[in-house]
Amino acid sequence: MRGPGSVRISQGRIESIGFDEAAGASIRLPRDAILAPGFIDIQVNGGGSVLLNDQPTEAGVRRIVEAHRKAGTTGCLPTLISDRSEVIERLAATAEGCLEIPGVLGFHLEGPALNRSRKGIHPDAEIRLPDRRDLAAIKSFGRRGRSIVTLAPECVPASMIDELIGAGLRIAAGHSDASAAEIGQAVDRGVSGVTHLFNAMSQLNAREPGLVGVALGDDRLFAGIICDGIHVDRAGLRVAFRCKGRDRLMLVTDAMPLAGTNDRQFMLQGREITLCDGRLTGRDGTLAGAHLTMIEAVRNAAALIGISLVDALIMASRTPASFLGLGSELGRIAPGYRADLVAFNPNFEVLGTWIAGVGSMGEASEASGRG
């Protein structure tokens, strides 16, 4: 909504919306505050000095979630990059408890079934076709929230895609050198997402559209995109938005442990990663995730793509909710929706967040401000 207004919350859900400021509101926001649906980030490797691979525990997940909540994220998928079977199993063992942490919607397993030719920063030694042990652990995430597996469709048998989808997982294509035909077949089998569009994937060429071409042209696919001005050029961002629109293009951070800290370095599976001029890179210059938060991604999307703030907010909330199958519960300020909200000022400084009506500014039964 636009202009002065109020949102009444009851039992964790939005009860009603008013279009003038409510007298006696329990939380009153500044008059220039913007109240929006809480951000949903489906790719969060770390934050608050924690990398999920290093601390696949409830304590580690809580630190990551808390760091990103300060930047407006009220729902996220902590993301595990390609690693040993033992690490996947450790996260699987703690996943049920992690879902009790406010803001955890599920998990994202990025790998290990990736294409080595498009591995990016993923360790070569951990990229593999999952064996039955791996599959048992990976499939268990299908019962734990709304979880995603990123894989290279050309590197796995079609039956494995069927098996993972049958277990309740959403499948995204990424770190892939697949042809358009291979991607098309995977989408026909149920692959529904693309991980960090343009990055670590086969590109659009004149006679071979690759994963990029299929992602831009197939409306069945949702695509995440890293809007930091580093991973994707402004022109590419604009092309992606024109092709996919706000209802299929999702803002993601691909954030690493430095998010929410003043640190400049961290270790990623034995490799030193350094932050310089907004870039996270290994010693060979390979990008290693992003130094980005969701409020920054929203700001960047409006500025770099040249779209409205409303469109940017939809890409940060409603669209990822739809991708996760939560579009009837999250991503809108509307009666009946869960009261996951973020308030920020015109300078894109987060003032507060609420998850199921419980906020970083206190518990809200009614809030008043601008929407």
The pLDDT value recorded for residue 369 is 46
Instruction: Give DSSP secondary structure letters for 231-296.
Output: SS-HHHHHHHHHHH-TTTEEEE--B-TTTTS---EEEETTEEEEEETTEEE-TT--B-SB---HHH
pTM of the full predicted structure? 0.95
Read off the pLDDT of residues 326-350 as tens digits, 9 standing for 90 and up. 999 999 999 999 999 999 999 999 9
Dihedrals phi, psi of 9, to nearest 5 degrees: -120, 135
Q: Which of 75-84, 110-119, 148-157, 362-371 has the lowest mean pLDDT?
A: 362-371
> Which pair of tokens denotes residue 115?
């294409």
Catalytic residue from among 83, 254, 311, 340: 254
Instruction: Please tell me the distance from the alpha carbon of residue 191 to that of residue 56, in angstroms, as a whole number.
Output: 26
The pLDDT value recorded for residue 28 is 84
Judge whether residue 319 has pLDDT over 70: yes
Band of residue 164 on the pLDDT scale cut at 50, 70, 90: very high
Contacts for 247 with CB less than 8 Å, ≥ 6 apart: 314, 318, 319, 322
Band of residue 213 on the pLDDT scale cut at 50, 70, 90: very high
Band of residue 23 on the pLDDT scale cut at 50, 70, 90: low
Whose structure tokens read 């902590």? 78
CA angle 88, 321, 150 (to 5 degrees): 35
Percent of the chain topping pLDDT 90: 91
Contacts for 55 with CB less than 8 Å, ≥ 6 apart: 61, 63
Q: What domains, with CATH codes, occur in the chain?
A: 1-36+335-371 (2.30.40.10), 39-330 (3.20.20.140)
Instruction: Please tell me the distance from the alpha carbon of residue 153 to that of residue 13, in angstroms, as a whole number.
Output: 39
Which whole-number Å values give the CA distances from 195 to 109, 112, 256, 319, in the listed order? 11, 14, 16, 14
Which whole-number Å values give the CA distances from 34 to 5, 24, 202, 364, in the listed order? 10, 19, 39, 16
The pLDDT value recorded for residue 363 is 44
| Residue of 256, 305, 260 lying closest to 282 (CA atoms) | 256
Q: Does 254 qualify as catalytic in the annotation?
A: yes
Q: Which of 17-21, 172-176, 245-249, 284-288 has the lowest mean pLDDT?
A: 17-21
Tell me the average pLDDT of the chain. 94
The pLDDT value recorded for residue 18 is 85
Mean pLDDT in residue range 113-126: 97
Q: How far is CA 334 from the centre of its chain?
A: 22
